Amino acid sequence: MDVSGTSKNCEAKRSIRVAVDAFGGDLAPAEPVRGACEAAGCYSDTTVILVGRGDDIKRELDALGDVPTNIELVEATEVVGMHEAAVTALRSKKDSSIAVGARLVKEGRADAFLSAGNTGAMVAAGTLFLGMIPGVLRPGIAVPVTAIDHPVVIIDVGANINCKPLHMVQYGVMASVFANEVMEMQNPRVGLLNVGEEERKGAQLQKKAFDMLQDAPINFVGNVEAHDIFFGGCDIVLCEGFTGNVLLKTCESLVQKLLEFLEGEIKRSIRRQLGFALCKDVFKAARRVGDYAEYGGAVLLGVDGVIIISHGRSDAKAVKNAVREARSTLKLNVNEDITEAIKGVEKSVDVSLNGSSGAE
């Protein structure tokens, strides 16, 4: 296991180095390049390294004009497509921007890597190249989202679809550190997403996780349902990756559809258009649900380095915010604190509940 990532994170002497995949996401390379430049302009203590095809990046930089001096460029000739099979793509495209970016972190040439590209490839690159924080069994994708009027962190949204109870407990611990330090949530309330709020609900995974979570060194508030997510019943939502993925995408698609529908309906009459013009500022908030541009992106918690996975449709603002998120995660030594917190799990939780197949 490569633990260099953790030790690098606490070198406060030199500037922070954040690698940005210039070829990740639907709006690449224009928006990642622009976002990287905006971040570099904002954070003079940070070097932003653009990873991708140099010629294309230079063209984008030229178009922007004034390029901050703390922007660097690292060549990567290939791109992993948004729908390519992750592990296969990583192996066959050794010079892809995702592979190169993750290797920069592994080799200590960058402290963090962020991409709006293929999520599966980012998870694979993080896991294979950086290895895990000692004691962590599986990485989990933690996504800070706006539940209309307040932030909530959902973990896992798809890194691990064969989740064991102990993975879930570790997710609770890691997300608590992240939410507390980066999201500034005091003693965040951790809820287990379930099909009812009563005890003994759900499949074996949820029942065992519930039992273990009660002893875990976190602020566990029991089972939660969707209502609790939107009406303030918890700060962190624990779920296995399949359900979390469906939850996140449902929020995003439902809000998108609702807004498109309203827009279409409003256009159908002058009276409605007039009314909408007077109150449309109210609807801005709605657009933020399921959109994690504001927070920067999802964090791949558990890997020994800082990996941020931004939304596929990330614009410059989202990329800039993702750089900010990477900086915070580094400056606050989140991974060091996760390393310590994970040690507390085995002391407090009956890990035998996890079953023989899951402890690995």
DSSP 150: S
Determine, following the binding rule CB under 8 A, whether residue 182 of this chain makes contact with its own copies: no
Q: Which is nearer to its own copies, 13 or 284 (CB)?
A: 284
Applying CB under 8 A, among 258, 294, 343, 350 the residue interacting with its own copies is 258
Cα separation, 44 vs 30, whole angstroms: 22
Determine, following the binding rule CB under 8 A, whether residue 275 of this chain makes contact with its own copies: yes
CB of 62 to its own copies, least distance (A): 36
Residue holding tokens 């679809």? 161
For residue 256, how many other CB atoms are within 10 A of its CB? 15
Residues numbered 132 to 161 that lie near its own copies (CB under 8 A) are 147-149, 158, 161
DSSP 303: B
Cα separation, 15 vs 195, whole angstroms: 47
Cα separation, 280 vs 270, whole angstroms: 15
CB of 275 to its own copies, least distance (A): 3
Tell me the backbone φ, ψ of residue 224, rounded to 5 degrees: -130, 160
Residues numbered 197 to 256 that lie near its own copies (CB under 8 A) are 197-198, 200, 202-203, 206, 225-227, 229-231, 239, 241-243, 245-247, 249-256
Applying CB under 8 A, among 214, 272, 352, 360 the residue interacting with its own copies is 272
Tell me the backbone φ, ψ of residue 23, rounded to 5 degrees: -115, 25
Determine, following the binding rule CB under 8 A, whether residue 274 of this chain makes contact with its own copies: yes
Residue holding tokens 């953790």? 6
Per-residue tokens: 146: 């706006």
CB of 239 to its own copies, least distance (A): 8
Applying CB under 8 A, among 55, 65, 66, 278 the residue interacting with its own copies is 278
Applying CB under 8 A, among 276, 312, 331, 355 the residue interacting with its own copies is 276
Determine, following the binding rule CB under 8 A, whether residue 313 of this chain makes contact with its own copies: no
For residue 67, how many other CB atoms are within 10 A of its CB? 16
Cα separation, 185 vs 15, whole angstroms: 27
Binding site for its own copies (CB under 8 A): 83, 85, 147-149, 158, 161-162, 193, 195-198, 200, 202-203, 206, 225-227, 229-231, 239, 241-243, 245-247, 249-258, 261-262, 265-266, 271-283, 285-286, 289
